[in-house]
Amino acid sequence: MGNEDKIQKELPACEKTGVATVNGQVVAINDRTCRELIKEAMNMLNYSYTPYSNFKVGAALLGVDNKIYTGCNIENASYTPTNCAERTAFFKAVSNGVKEFAAIAIVGGKEGKIENYCPPCGVCRQVMMEFCDPDQFYVILAKSEEDYWVYPLAEIMPMGFSPKDLK
């Protein structure tokens, strides 16, 4: 059984659920939550600044406070200062004092047309590792509010480096 089969079995399409527990606070990640995050991420495609690649990405990050922090990708002519949608959402939340998260929804596509799942890059996965328990944080990859997959961060960032490794 491959990872996708395993996740699909654990989180069936009709009732995808998970529970994130951060510092004793429990946040349910169910179909309604996923759809709400996906809708917010899709809306962020409208704010994407992508004059070079034309590949727009939107993200919606759920804090354990049940607030949603959104982000879009922002490109730069020299490329290196470009910021991904996922990191934009995390940095907005952290700059507002929030450092505990339950899930993130990510959507993206050329010209903002969502045709495939849009997994986070390695740098974004590393930022997630900084703030999230990889077994308790969920990454939602979506093509639409009805067509999505949910993965624990640990599944997409095996053997990830985190602040725990520095202790």
Tell me which residues are annotated as active site: 86
Question: Number of helices (H) and strands (E), helices first, in the chain?
Answer: 5, 7
Q: Which residue blocks in the chain are alpha helix, DSSP H? A: 3-10, 31-44, 85-95, 122-131, 153-156
Is the distance from CB of 72 to CB of 57 less than 8 angstroms? yes
